[in-house]
Structure formats: C-alpha cells, structure tokens
C-alpha cells in the first residue's frame, strides 16, 4: 500500500499521534479515518470536522500574461474572478476532455492562486507549462503551504476563537482573504467539499502543526474532531460533488458531467470546438444521481441495466450515513437519466432496483 | 464478552461455535475492528448448502465489501435477522449478538483444521493474514 515515493503532509506526525489509520492516496500518506468514518461524518454534519487538505495542489500564476493565459485554458470566464472571489472551472484538452477541475483565487495585482486536485497536480503543471505561449509566470507553491479545512455548522464559532485577523462573518461563501490565523499567514476561504458551511486555509508548512493543534483544542468543547478521507468521500457524495478521477476524467467533457454551468461559450478556450459540436449533437451519456430501492450498496464499477440491457456504470457509491440510504453516481444514457427513472444496479452479480434522483442527495438547512 | 475458549477460528477471520451438530458463525473482534463501521450485512437463505471456505455472506463497511466464508460445509439452518436490521451489532457484539448464521454441519471433522482463540491471536500477531 505505502510506496517509497509517497509523501507525508506537514501534519503526518500529528495524525499518527491521534491514532489515525493512514493510507496512500495519489502519492500522499493521509488519514482515512481516526476512529470511525461514521463518527467523523456525523460530527461534520452536526458539529464540525477538521481535515488535512495539504495534498491539494497549489499553483500561483502571475504577471500581465496571467489573465489571458487563464482565459485561454479555463472554460469558465475569469472575468468573474474579482479580487477576493473564487471561480470554479474545469480545463480541457483539445478534444474537450476534462484535464482537471480547479478553484481559481484572484489575489489582485495580476496574481492568481490555483487549487487543483492532488491526483492531477504534476500533469496539470506540465500541461500548463507546455500551453503557456502567453508567458505567464507559473509557480509551484505546493511545498510551502499546508492545508487545513474545518467543516460543519460550528466552524465559524470555532475558527473565531483562533486569532483570525479578519472578521469571519463578513467572509462569504466562495470568497477568500489573505489573513492571519493563530498569528500566521493564511490563505483563508469559505469553501469546502462536504456540503456544510466551513473554511479552508493554506498556511506555511512549518506552522501547520501549530494551527491544526490550536483549532482542534479550541473546537473540542464544540464537538470538533479530526476527520479523514473516508468521511470526506461520503460527505462530498451526499453533497453531490463529483470527484475528479472517479466521477470525471479526460474521457468526459463538461457536457456529460453536468458542468456546462461552468463553461462560457461566449469566449474562446481550449476544447471549445468539440464541446460545441457535442452540445449540438447531444450527449451520449450523462452523470446522474441515484438511490437504491433494494438492499445493496452500489460500488464503483457496478454495471447499470434497464430491462436487462446495460445502460451505464456506477462511478461512486456508498452507504449514506446522513440519509441512511445507499446512494451513488452513474453515467447513464440520457433517455434513462431523468429523475424518477427506474434502473437496476448489478451488485455482487445480482440485479438490485434503484431510482434516478435529483442531486444533491443532501442539502444543509440554512 | 463471550467465552472465546469455545470458539474456533479461520484464517479469514470467521469464528465457529459448535452446539451439537450445528455450528454458529460470526466474525472476530479483530475483523470487526479492521472493517470498523459495519453498515450492511447480507445473509444466506435458510436451506442453502454451503461448502467449507465457500462464500456464504457479505459484510460491508462504508468503504468496502468483505466476503464471509463458511468455516465448515453444510446446510444453513438459521440466519440472524437482527444484524441485517442493525448491522452495528456486529461491531458491538462480534462474539454474541453479532452472529451471522448457523450451519447444520455435514462433517464435524472439518472443524479440526480451525484454530483455537490462542492460535488465532498468534496468527494475527504474526501478520500472516
């Protein structure tokens, strides 16, 4: 499981100290759970969970050429990225295939910070470097920053106890600020991957352990517990967030993955021609959410059938701790992807009934 | 806590408790800890014939599915509906309330190849599993 090349995040020893079960995840040694995926999941939904997100890839793109370069590669319009606001966008190859999905932070003064997936970091960096005719300055800032996410309804209260220089109440969803947390620099955003309110922060690697420990201590009276990749996966699935490499990859365009809301067809970008052609022709498959009616847990790779004919494949599936149902994502032929459509999932070689539902599975009460 | 002295163990982490010609089957405390939160159990139907080391049930955690193998051959005579209804019983009481099914044994001698609790503990420590 562990390979010699696996990297440790700045919080690795802290996880060990907390008794975490460590796994290899896209080249990083990360906690899958500390005590129990269910406990960590439920704490995040009802109180708060603290996650190590140091594995997320971090790039800085700057200079006068930064914006034209980003406009050319990203499908979404970078004009939406006013300073302090975060824009989500896929970027695609010439065939419209999604290379990654990225959070773009406009830090002002022609400086952008890109948060990319861990699994695609090296590939993204190489691809961007080879498509940078504009001459933007692309800097790998991965090693200098550790990442910590606090997620759950008690997040604002807890983080408010950790010497944050900026007022948290004023920080809106999908916005960020460069501030100080526990006295140290932090790229702090109101974002997450769990469907809950919460914050993500990138802090200097060498200060990560201190910030992690102080937040954990401050949050203890409010029910904050450390949470691993296991609950991160069940939380994001309930929240209807696709995972790159699992639910989307280079063989899919934004059309099949319901990401056309993050594609601006009124500007030019790499892959636009194919996406326009496919849009006109209609998708052959679309990513749909479903829940099981029969007793069975769907898993990645399970075939989906309708009247005995194969119509798709499950990409993510799990027991949902919040809904106490079995849920998943699958690529389905468009004719079978309408909400309410009944489908069969092949689980342990047996046909089990399921129904297409509207994503997200879970939406928090505001 | 059950009297583990009365249990026999497989290398695949099932236990067998023999009562007359019937063997009750569950998974070890070590196995339930490794699996952690059990969220799904699928039991064999009453009357089904199972072979020693053949797949007889499925137990699933949030993350993955695990097969439960029959420690001995025979016919399924009981299935514990309580663990299907509330799978967390497997975590709470792996040796008592968390049993899965009972087999009417074809050949009691098949149990001779299984390990005592002490040998099973040694087996786990050796890391050979």
Taking only the tens place, the pLDDT of each residue in A334-362 is 999 999 999 999 998 899 999 999 999 99
User: Distance (Å) from the C-alpha of residue A229 to the closest C-alpha of chain B?
Assistant: 10
Per-residue confidence (pLDDT) for residue A5, from 0 to 100: 80
Per-residue confidence (pLDDT) for residue A148, from 0 to 100: 98
Interface check for B119 against chain A (CB to CB < 8 A): the answer is no
For A311, the token pair is 């119509």
Residue A268 DSSP label = -
Q: Do A37 and B60 touch (CB under 8 A)?
A: no
Cβ count within 10 A of residue B20 = 8
Round the average pLDDT of chain B to a whole number and report it. Answer: 95
pLDDT (mean) for B70-97: 97
pLDDT (mean) for A84-113: 96
Give me the domains of chain A, ranges plus CATH numbers: 7-54+144-238 (3.30.1360.120), 284-357 (2.40.30.110)
Beta bridge partners of B66: B59
Sorting pLDDT into bands at 50, 70 and 90, what band is A106? Answer: very high
pLDDT exceeds 70 at position A140: yes
Cβ count within 10 A of residue A189 = 25
For chain B, the C-alpha Rg in angstroms (whole number) is: 13
pLDDT exceeds 70 at position B129: no
Q: Where are the beta strands (DSSP E) in A182-307?
A: 184-189, 198-204, 224-226, 286-292, 303-306
Per-residue confidence (pLDDT) for residue B59, from 0 to 100: 96
Sorting pLDDT into bands at 50, 70 and 90, what band is B128? Answer: low
pLDDT exceeds 90 at position A18: yes
For B78, the token pair is 């009981």
Round the average pLDDT of chain A to a whole number and report it. Answer: 96
Report which of A345, A344, A332, A341 is spatially closest to residue A307, judged by C-alpha positions.
A344
Per-residue confidence (pLDDT) for residue B58, from 0 to 100: 95
Beta bridge partners of A198: A151
- What is the Cα A204 distance to its own chain's centre? 21
Query: What residues have CB less than 8 Å from A335, skipping those under 6 apart?
Result: none
Interface check for B63 against chain A (CB to CB < 8 A): the answer is yes
Chain segment A295-318, per-residue pLDDT in tens:
999 999 999 999 999 999 999 999
pLDDT (mean) for A181-193: 97
Q: Do B42 and A348 touch (CB under 8 A)?
A: yes
8 A C-beta contact, residue A33 and residue A228: yes
pLDDT (mean) for A121-127: 96
pLDDT exceeds 50 at position A1: no
Best residue in B33, B34, B35, B39 to probe A by mutation, most A CBs within 10 Å? B39
Residue with tokens 């809301």: A261
Q: Do A33 and B36 touch (CB under 8 A)?
A: yes
Side-chain half-sphere CA neighbours of A31 within 13 A = 27
Cβ count within 10 A of residue A91 = 25
Cβ count within 10 A of residue A136 = 23
Side-chain half-sphere CA neighbours of A87 within 13 A = 24
User: Distance (Å) from the C-alpha of residue A353 to the closest C-alpha of chain B?
Assistant: 16
H-assigned helices in chain A:
12-17, 37-46, 66-73, 121-130, 155-159, 208-219, 229-238, 272-281
Query: How many CB pairs below 8 A link A and B?
Result: 41
Torsion on CA atoms A269, A274, A277, A278, rounded to nearest 10: -110
pLDDT exceeds 60 at position A85: yes
Give me the domains of chain B, ranges plus CATH numbers: 7-107 (2.40.50.100)
Per-residue confidence (pLDDT) for residue A339, from 0 to 100: 97
pLDDT (mean) for A114-128: 96
Q: Do A37 and B40 touch (CB under 8 A)?
A: no
Chain segment B54-71, per-residue pLDDT in tens:
999 999 999 889 999 999
8 A C-beta contact, residue A167 and residue A177: no
Helices (H) and strands (E) in chain B, counts: 4, 9
Residue with tokens 């599993």: B129
Beta bridge partners of A309: A306
pLDDT exceeds 70 at position A3: no
Q: For residues A264 and B68, what is the distance between their CA atoms, to the nearest angstrom?
A: 51
8 A C-beta contact, residue A128 and residue A73: yes
Sorting pLDDT into bands at 50, 70 and 90, what band is A104? Answer: very high
Chain B residues in contact with A296 by the CB 8 A cut-off are 40, 42
8 A C-beta contact, residue A331 and residue A312: yes
Per-residue confidence (pLDDT) for residue A153, from 0 to 100: 98
Query: What residues have CB less than 8 Å from A251, skipping those under 6 apart?
Result: A97
Sorting pLDDT into bands at 50, 70 and 90, what band is A81? Answer: confident
Candidates B40, B58, B84; nearest CB to A319: B40
pLDDT (mean) for A135-140: 97
For A212, the token pair is 């992690």
Please provide the distance, in angstroms rounded to a whole number, between the alpha carbons at the two ends of chain B.
24
Chain B residues in contact with A319 by the CB 8 A cut-off are 39-40, 60, 62
């Amino acid at each position: 499981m562990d390979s010699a090349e696996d990297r440790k995040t700045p919080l690795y020893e802290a996880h060990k100290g907390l008794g975490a079960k460590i796994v290899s995840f896209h080249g990083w040694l990360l906690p899958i759970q500390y005590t129990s995926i269910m406990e960590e999941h439920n704490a995040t939904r009802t109180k708060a969970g603290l996650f190590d997100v140091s594995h997320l890839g971090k790039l800085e793109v700057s200079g006068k050429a930064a914006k034209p370069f980003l406009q050319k590669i990203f499908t979404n319009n970078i004009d939406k990225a006013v300073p302090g606001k975060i824009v989500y966008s896929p970027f695609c190859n010439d065939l419209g295939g999604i290379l990654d999905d990225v959070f773009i932070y406009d830090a002002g003064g022609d400086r952008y910070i890109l948060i990319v997936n861990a699994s695609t970091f090296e590939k993204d960096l190489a691809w961007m470097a080879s498509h940078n005719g504009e001459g933007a300055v692309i800097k790998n800032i991965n090693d200098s920053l550790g990442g910590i996410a606090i997620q759950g309804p008690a997040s604002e209260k807890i983080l408010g106890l950790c010497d944050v220089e900026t007022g948290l109440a004023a920080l809106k969803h999908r916005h960020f600020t460069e501030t100080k947390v526990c006295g140290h620099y932090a790229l702090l955003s109101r974002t997450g991957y769990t469907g809950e309110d919460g914050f993500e922060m990138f802090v200097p690697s060498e200060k990560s352990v201190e910030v992690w420990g102080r937040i954990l201590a401050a949050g203890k009276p409010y029910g904050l517990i450390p949470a691993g990749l296991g609950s991160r996966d069940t939380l994001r699935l309930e929240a209807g967030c696709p995972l790159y490499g699992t639910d989307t990859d280079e063989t899919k365009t934004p059309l099949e993955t319901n990401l056309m809301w993050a594609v601006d067809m009124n500007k030019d970008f790499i892959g636009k021609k194919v996406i326009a052609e496919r849009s006109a022709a209609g998708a052959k498959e679309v990513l749909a959410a479903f829940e099981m009616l029969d007793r069975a847990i769907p898993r990645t790779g399970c075939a989906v059938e309708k009247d005995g004919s194969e119509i798709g494949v499950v990409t993510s599936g799990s027991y949902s701790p919040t809904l106490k149902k079995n849920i998943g994502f699958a690529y389905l032929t468009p004719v079978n992807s309408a909400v309410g459509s009944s489908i069969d999932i092949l689980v342990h070689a047996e046909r089990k009934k399921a129904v297409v539902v509207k994503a997200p599975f879970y939406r928090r009460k505001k | 806590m059950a009297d583990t002295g009365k249990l026999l163990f497989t290398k695949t982490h099932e236990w067998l408790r023999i009562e007359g010609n019937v063997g009750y089957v569950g998974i070890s405390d070590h196995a339930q800890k490794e699996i952690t939160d059990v969220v799904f159990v699928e039991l064999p139907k009453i009357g089904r014939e199972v072979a020693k080391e053949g797949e007889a049930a499925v137990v699933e955690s949030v993350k993955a599915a695990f097969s439960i193998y029959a420690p001995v051959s025979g016919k399924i005579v009981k299935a514990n509906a309580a663990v299907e209804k509330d799978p967390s019983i497997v975590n709470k009481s792996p040796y008592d309330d968390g049993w899965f099914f009972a087999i009417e044994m074809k050949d009691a001698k098949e149990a001779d190849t299984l390990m005592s609790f002490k040998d099973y503990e040694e087996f786990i420590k050796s890391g050979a599993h």
